[in-house]
Structure 1
Amino acid sequence: MYAKTSNSTPDTIKVQSDKGSLRLQFSTRYNPIFGGKRKYQPLGMKDTAENRQKAEAIAHRIESDLQHPDWEQLFDPTFAKYGIKSQYAALQLAAPIPESEPEMTVGEMWEDYLVWKRPQLEETTYRSSYEAAYSNLIKGLVWSKKTKTFTDAGDGLLDTRLGTLDIEKWFNESTRTQAIKQKTLAALSEAFARLQSLGKTKLAANPFILSNKNENKTDKYKPKVDADGIEREWWDVPDNESDNDERDRRSFSKADMLTIIDAFYSHKNAALRQVAPLVEFRFLTGCRSGEAFALRWRDCFRGTNQNNIVFSRSYDGHFRVTKNTKNGDIRIFKMYPKLRELLLKIKTENAQPNDLVFSKLNGKTWDSPTIQKIWDGRIEVRGETEYNYPGVVTQLADDGLIEGYLPFYNCRHTFISLQAHAGTDLFLLATACGNSVETIQKHYLGVNPDVSFADI
């Protein structure tokens, strides 16, 4: 059993205590000069505070000689030069000290990290963030909407060795958004910390941590420019939700909501009429899109009064997988008359517990890419001709039948806004929707222009 190693000794030679006596432990870098084995050099001194100081001084002298360009002339392999008794002398040098192994590249570190990280993440999170967004940034790849391909931006880190990084320059000069750069740096920082814990790097400082030396931390009321180039006052704090859908909390009015629902139910296309109950359900529950896609009849009419819906799963249409809800929670949603009426109307007599509540005409699961085409519209190119097929909601907005266009996801925010303004208990609303009371107070109650003080 060995006592602790001194923290003040050099990196490649450590002072250790072995059964009450001090010795030097040489780094494996020096193995070749000591017959291919790790060298331990006894010092013939008891482990006391005074002797440790002497041992550290000896270690520093030896370290200085070994690191010198003329080390072969300076270093004494008998250790007599360093005041170590002859009975503890080392063997003669067997080979020259090898050159230090170069630090691995960012790409090598990243690939090793991804293998380790993947089992800890939801598959969709791993594939969309780590394997796609972060990896593309590290590779310097930028997606072109025009050519539908990735192009090399010339600012990749993949082949850069860890010891030669200038992460401050890269962060300031890269044209990608602040948010994606920060998230990628956080992942790279974790990858490097793991590398250190495995002893696979000699670097002491994490090269992926920004110094923030130019940041004026005293002037907290100074306007700041966000990732979109918008200057914001100190009080106009942007949301820090993990995705754009959650950050965009705009909502339809109740009149617009009813117009949209009616447009789907009365559409001339049977496939689009099939979407109507799904659209209405999202407006009446505020659930996330994937939660509605994955809902089964066994999740409805739960509880002793058969009055609850349980949201426990979510379907991701991009990767075609069913997973946990966004926050990993299981939410209980209390039904109210209009919602119960909708579910009873669409439930068929032969519906089985594991059947999806909402499905396409062919029985398959709805997904966000399909809904987006129906909601937003699509453009098809045949030969040299471009055909524009407007979506249900974009057409309503273009025709002036609703105040304006909002994405399908904003059905959620419409429900929360209408319920909050109607006086629904905020704790009930927050629990049912997977939000916090503070979020609802800040983002939903505050946007009603008709709210005023009571006349007291």
Structure 2
Amino acid sequence: MKLEKPDGEEEEEINPFTREERDRIIAAFQANRYYKGYAPLVEFLFFTGCRPSEALALQWKNVKQQVITFRRVLIYDGKKLVIQDKLKTQALRKFSINPQLAEIIAAIKPENSDPESLVFPSPKGKFIDWSNFTTRAWAKILASLAQDTVLSNGEILPGIEYRNPYQMRHTFCSLCREGDIASIQLAKWVGNSAEMIDRVYAKPVNRISVPIL
């Protein structure tokens, strides 16, 4: 049960979703009677690029009006889920809340939220079991989107290839790079080095014009 990627592994098998695929996955979670409770978590991961271990450990006291402070992670020690009071590569990391993210947070925040309570608890108020989420909710939602769909106007909506949920982080990073966000800024947002961002999330070469030399 992996919540944290070992050094080096985070750079492997990077196959991000497109913006359209991301939106279809979110919509599918929202519409599913069994798994719609996970939709806010899926949106949060897609729109922050944080590691799953950071989101699952997040408490309301670390979510302010304008900024989220990631300062702990949920890890599996081989026997049970435990909290580690530091991040993978740093003591803490701040992430600014934009209007898109503010809307997601506002929709799930209890009126009188306990500062110590989890932002993304399981239905029983415990830590979400990431392995269970991956093999059940994520796998079934992605399976439901795997086949091509013929729309009423005859247009064919391509099926979405299965990728593991860690690709939500890669999707955020890739879309930011496509949006010309500087490597050093993106690195601060997601807790990586700017060098790693440049090496792994370079803009697709087919979208860059060849210069006049």
Judge same fold: TM > 0.5, yes or no. yes
Map 1:177-326 onto structure 2 (within 5 A).
242=7, 244-269=9-34, 272-301=35-64, 306-317=65-76, 319-323=80-84, 324-326=86-88
> Contact 1:300–1:309 (CA<8 Å) still a contact in 2?
yes
> Contact 1:316–1:367 (CA<8 Å) still a contact in 2?
no
| One-letter identity of the residue aligned with 1:255 | E
Distance (Å, rounded) in 1 between the aligned partners of 2:181 and 2:44: 18
Distance (Å, rounded) in 2 between the aligned partners of 1:257 and 1:351: 29
Shift of 1:374: 2.5
C-alpha deviations, 1:304-339, integer Å up to 9, x for none? xx3111111111256310113222431111111101
Shift of 1:299: 0.9
> Which structure's CA Rg is the greater one?
1
Distance (Å, rounded) in 1 between the aligned partners of 2:138 and 2:115: 32
> Contact 1:297–1:357 (CA<8 Å) still a contact in 2?
yes
**Matching residue of 1:422:** 179
C-alpha deviations, 1:57-95, integer Å up to 9, x for none? xxxxxxxxxxxxxxxxxxxxxxxxxxxxxxxxxxxxxxx
| One-letter identity of the residue aligned with 2:101 | L
> Contact 2:142–2:160 (CA<8 Å) still a contact in 1?
no
Distance (Å, rounded) in 2 between the aligned partners of 1:453 and 1:375: 43
| One-letter identity of the residue aligned with 2:72 | R
Map 1:89-104 onto structure 2 (within 5 A).
none
1:349 pairs with 2:108:
no
**Matching residue of 1:40:** none
Map 1:4-43 onto structure 2 (within 5 A).
none
Map 1:70-219 onto structure 2 (within 5 A).
none
Shift of 1:285: 0.3
> Contact 2:178–2:203 (CA<8 Å) still a contact in 1?
no
The count of residues paired between Structure 1 and Structure 2 equals: 199
TM-score, with length taken from structure 1: 0.41
C-alpha deviations, 1:7-34, integer Å up to 9, x for none? xxxxxxxxxxxxxxxxxxxxxxxxxxxx
Structure 1 portions without partners, runs of 5+:
1-123, 126-240, 378-390
> Contact 2:90–2:191 (CA<8 Å) still a contact in 1?
no
Shift of 1:426: 2.2
**Matching residue of 1:338:** 100
C-alpha deviations, 1:155-206, integer Å up to 9, x for none? xxxxxxxxxxxxxxxxxxxxxxxxxxxxxxxxxxxxxxxxxxxxxxxxxxxx
> Contact 1:315–1:367 (CA<8 Å) still a contact in 2?
no
Distance (Å, rounded) in 1 between the aligned partners of 2:205 and 2:110: 40
TM-score, with length taken from structure 2: 0.84
**Matching residue of 1:367:** 129
Shift of 1:345: 1.4
1:395 pairs with 2:110:
no
| One-letter identity of the residue aligned with 2:68 | I
Distance (Å, rounded) in 1 between the aligned partners of 2:7 and 2:132: 23
Q: Secondary structure of 2:83's match?
A: strand
Distance (Å, rounded) in 1 between the aligned partners of 2:212 and 2:160: 32
Q: Classify 1:454/1:280 alpha carbon distance in 2 versus 1 (closer, same or farther; 3 Å).
A: farther
Shift of 1:447: 3.1
Shift of 1:352: 1.1
Structure 2 portions without partners, runs of 5+:
150-157
Distance (Å, rounded) in 2 between the aligned partners of 1:353 and 1:246: 34
| One-letter identity of the residue aligned with 1:409 | Y
Runs of 4+ with deviation above 3 angstroms: 243-246, 398-403, 453-456
Distance (Å, rounded) in 2 between the aligned partners of 1:449 and 1:394: 30
Q: Classify 1:274/1:243 alpha carbon distance in 2 versus 1 (closer, same or farther; 3 Å).
A: farther
> Contact 1:311–1:332 (CA<8 Å) still a contact in 2?
yes
**Matching residue of 1:24:** none
Shift of 1:361: 1.6
Distance (Å, rounded) in 1 between the aligned partners of 2:205 and 2:56: 30
> Contact 2:49–2:190 (CA<8 Å) still a contact in 1?
yes
Q: Classify 1:273/1:403 alpha carbon distance in 2 versus 1 (closer, same or farther; 3 Å).
A: closer
| One-letter identity of the residue aligned with 1:287 | C
Distance (Å, rounded) in 2 between the aligned partners of 1:402 and 1:421: 23
Shift of 1:263: 0.3
| One-letter identity of the residue aligned with 2:165 | F
